[in-house]
Structure 1
Amino acid sequence: MKIRYLLLHAYGTGGTIRTVLTQAGWMAEAGHDVEVVSVVRRRTATGFAIPKGVKLRALVDQRTGIAEPRLHARMLRKLRGHVVPRGEPAAAYFTPEVEAAVARWLRGLSEGVLVTTRPALNLLAARHASGRVATVAQEHMNFASHRQAVQRAIRRAYGRFDAVTVLTETDRADYERVLPGSRIVRVPNAVHPMERALADHTSATAVAAGRLVPQKGFDLLIPAFQRATQAHQDWRLRIFGTGVKRAELAAMAEAAAPRVELMGRSDAFHEELAASALYVLSSRFEGLPMVMIEAMAHGLPVVAFDCPTGPGEVITHDVDGVLVPPQDLDALTRAITELIEDEPRRRRLGAQAVRTVEAYSMQAVAPKWLELFNDLQTARRGADRTPLS
């Protein structure tokens, strides 16, 4: 089977890129013809290793400069394409040149399965993809988190896909409501396969990770951790990630020093997880928080805001982690304090967390994708044999 995955920037290091490459690698290992197509290329080297057997190509090479001059915002809007709405976070990537390159490639597809991986790409595929290819729109975020312009575009366009895949049961219900009659399938992302060292529950280290953006709620986590450790000043919180809020968060971390540190990006993040005793997820909203699942695979107990969506679909409260009401600083502070003070509970929750995330292994998730792809291919072959009336 020919399977193509369309990513915005396959040379980056985001969670979607990693999960798509993990899936592509499994499909290639299973004997399928797999290609990952990057809309743009802004780096020479990839951020993640490309799995064996997976081909990689880019549609628009921007390594010598981004074809988007610095102009007044009103003029810049005129240089953007016509399909991707401004509310899509990656809208600035989609100049007329980029949209045209994607459209040409989509129209030229003649077989197999196409998987697109964010609203901008989904919307372009809905408009331009060849009718000879089975189309799957991956949604990595819950519907309510999208801006209104994106929601309107989703309602208009996603019904053209053979299937829309989502990460959680809550997402499935939401998309079934807004896309009546469409095929909505829940397939969670899979944890990247590797041997995992178990967490050091005696460590006085808590860890968090994600882009330094408002969504991740690190502005809530830092004061909560600072309060939780008033009587436990040997404990440290290490936050991994980069992003637009770094300066603001750095000022907060400096005020909480030495108990809070911004660590930037790590090439040995799994070693950092194994050296920690506790993981904290403070997001205002999520899709399916893969870093949290990675932490659980190391046997780390998790304290998480029960935000929409994801944490509550993975964690059972006080069985394999602790859920607290969204954006409730007092509850987050109490939960962190309680786990700091209770090593046996940390061990109990962490041991169960390892068992919970077995459902997110590639061995558990990949067959769901393969079943869907085979079903779509069979249905498309049947449709091709149906005589025109």
Structure 2
Amino acid sequence: MKIRYMLVHAYGMGGTIRTVVNQANAMAEAGHDVEIVSAVRRRTKPQFEIDERVKVWALVDQRDGVVPDSFARKVWRRARGKIVPYGEFAAHYFTQRVESALIDYVSSVQDGILVTTRPALNLISARRGSSKAVRVAQEHMNLASYHPAVREHITRYYGSFDAVAVLTETSRKEYRAIFKDMPIVRIPNAVPMEHRKHSDHSNPIVIAAGRLVPQKGFDMLIPAFASIAQAHPEWKLQIFGTGPLQQKLQNRIDKQEMGDRITLMGRSDRLHEELAKASIYALSSRMEGLPMAMIEAMGHALPIVAFDCPTGPADVLTPGKDGLLVPRRDVPKLGEALSQVMSDADLRRRMGAAAAETARGYTPQVVMPLWEELYTALLNRAPIAHDYGAVRH
């Protein structure tokens, strides 16, 4: 079958880009004709490895005209398109020129599967795409996390899709409340688990990973760890990632006088090795879609300590079995949970083993057949089960 995936910037970094590239690679490996269409291009080479059988190309080449995001937002206010609403996280990409190129493209697709991967692209496909192609909207964040204007547009226009794919059962319930009859399928992102070395839970390191942005909540993780650091003098916290909050987070570390215990590690090309050397994974996010880094940590048999943020952690974890969940944004409780797991090596080993077993449900071998079966059914206009992709216990 012919499958076209659309991304805002297929040549960039980010969780959605990585997971869509993984999907495209798997579909090409299965023998399908696969393309990745990027709205814009700001780098010469993709940052993730793409199968040579996958065609990658861009609608608007911006390699000679990249400007800082802050300036891009000012330009967008003067030259914004007509479809993407204010409040969409990536709205500043969608100038009149970019929107026009996207409209021309989606209206030209007359066959196969067209998969769009965030609200801006979804809305353009929903409003201007041809009904001759099977159109699937992927949602990588929970509905409640979007700006009200984005949610209003989703409610108004997503009904024209053949299916909406979400990552968790919580998200399925959100969309099901709006779209009673349209297929809302739950298909998680796939996480390869081959050759994952398991932690032996002996190294006194708490690890966290993600962009240094407000969403990831590292400004709460730092004081949570600091609050119990004196009781666990051998333990350290390592935070991997880069982003605009780096200096503010470092200032917070310095203010807590934790410079010798908490380290901003930057970006690592060997994060899997670092996960295997750690003993606990901490997730302090204010919101998630499906926490990929957390699932990857579980694949290394790390027990999880996480905020019960919407959505994601509670859709993956069984509290007390493979990790601990605490009320979202409750910094003292997060510290207490970290302390509990730090204090008990047997608990770490028991939860870590259960975490590794949970992670098996997110391997490509489990996930990719769900996509292939969905696309085949949609092309054949076959009915889609109301609980398609539901976790079976």
| 1:372 corresponds to | 374
Aligned to 2:292: 290
Q: Helix, strand or coil: the match of 1:86? A: coil
**Residue 193 to residue 53, structure 1, CA distance change in 2 (3 Å):** farther
In the other structure, the counterpart of 2:135 is 135
Q: 1:4 corresponds to which residue?
A: 4
Tell me the equivalent position of 2:341. 339
Decide whether the 8 Å contact of 2:37 with 2:58 is kept in 1: yes
Partner of 2:122: 122
The answer on whether the counterparts of 1:24 and 1:54 sit within 8 Å (CA) in structure 2 is yes
Structure 1 segment 317-356 matched on structure 2, within 5 A: 317-356=319-358
CA contact (8 A) 1:22 1:192 kept: no
The answer to whether the Cα contact below 8 Å between 1:207 and 1:276 also exists between their aligned partners in 2 is yes
Q: What's the secondary structure of 2:9's corresponding residue?
A: coil
Separation in 1, partners of 2:259, 2:68: 40
Give the unaligned 5+ runs of structure 2: 383-393
* Superposed displacement of residue 227, structure 1: 1.2
Distance 1:300 1:352 in 2: 9
After TM superposition, list the pairs within 5 Å mapping 1:1-389 onto structure 2: 1-66=1-66, 76-255=76-255, 256-379=258-381
Shift of residue 110, structure 1, vs aligned partner: 2.0
SS of alignment partner, residue 103 of structure 1 = helix
Matched positions, count: 380
Distance 2:181 2:68 in 1: 39
Most deviating of 42-51 and 152-161: 42-51
- How far apart, in 1, do the equivalents of 2:72 and 2:43 lie? 27
CA contact (8 A) 1:204 1:276 kept: yes
Identity level (%):
54
CA distance in 2 between partners of 1:76 and 1:26 (Å) = 35
1:236, distance to aligned residue in structure 2 (A)? 1.2
CA RMSD, Structure 1 to Structure 2 (Å): 1.8
Secondary structure at 1:44's aligned position in 2? coil
SS in 1 for 2:114: strand
Is the CA contact (8 Å cut-off) linking 2:76 and 2:95 kept in structure 1?
no
- Shift of the alpha carbon at 1:72? 11
Query: Is 2:3–2:32's contact at 8 Å kept on the other side of the alignment?
Result: yes
Rate the CA distance shift 1:273–1:67 in 2: closer, same or farther, 3 A: closer
Q: 1:138 to 1:235 in 2, by over 3 A?
A: same
Mapped contact 2:72–2:93 kept (Cα < 8 A): no
Residue deviations 1:78-116 (CA, integer Å, cap 9, x gap) = 311111111001000001011111111111112110110
SS of corresponding position for 1:262? strand
Any runs of at least 4 consecutive aligned residues in structure 1 with deviations exceeding 4 A, and if so which? 67-76
User: SS in structure 2 opposite 1:192?
Assistant: coil
Contact 1:135 1:163 in 2 (8 A): yes
1:181 CA displacement? 2.5
Q: Is the 8 A contact 2:36 2:56 kept in 1?
A: yes
Query: Counterpart amino acid of 2:375?
Result: F
Structure 1 residues 71 and 310: CA distance shift in structure 2, 3 A: closer
| TM-superposed deviation, 1:290 | 0.6
CA shift in 2, pair 1:86/1:185, >3 Å: same
Q: Which segment drifts farther, 240-249 or 155-164?
A: 240-249
Summarize deviations over 1:327-371 as a string: whole Å, max 9, x none. Answer: 111211111011111111111101111111111111111111111
For residue 118 of structure 1, what is the amino acid of its counterpart? R
Q: Note if contact 1:140-1:288 (Cα within 8 Å) is conserved in structure 2.
A: yes
Confirm or deny: 8 A CA contact 2:204 2:236 kept in the other structure.
yes
Q: 3-state SS of the aligned residue for 2:43?
A: coil
Higher mean C-alpha displacement, 124-133 vs 281-290 = 124-133
TM-score, with normalisation over the residues of structure 2?
0.93
Please give the TM-score of this superposition, normalised by the length of structure 1: 0.94
343 and 263 in structure 1: CA distance in 2 versus 1, 3 angstrom threshold: same
Residue type of the alignment partner of 1:281: L
In the TM superposition, what whole-angstrom CA distance separates every residue of 1:20-58 from its partner, at most 9, and x where no partner exists? 111111111111001111111111121111124222111
CA positional deviation for 1:266 = 1.0
Q: Which amino acid aligns with 1:272?
A: E
Given that residues 4 and 114 in structure 1 are in contact (C-alpha distance below 8 angstroms), is that contact kept between their aligned partners in structure 2?
A: yes
Q: Give me the whole-angstrom Cα distance separating, in 1, the residues matched to 2:280 and 2:74.
A: 47
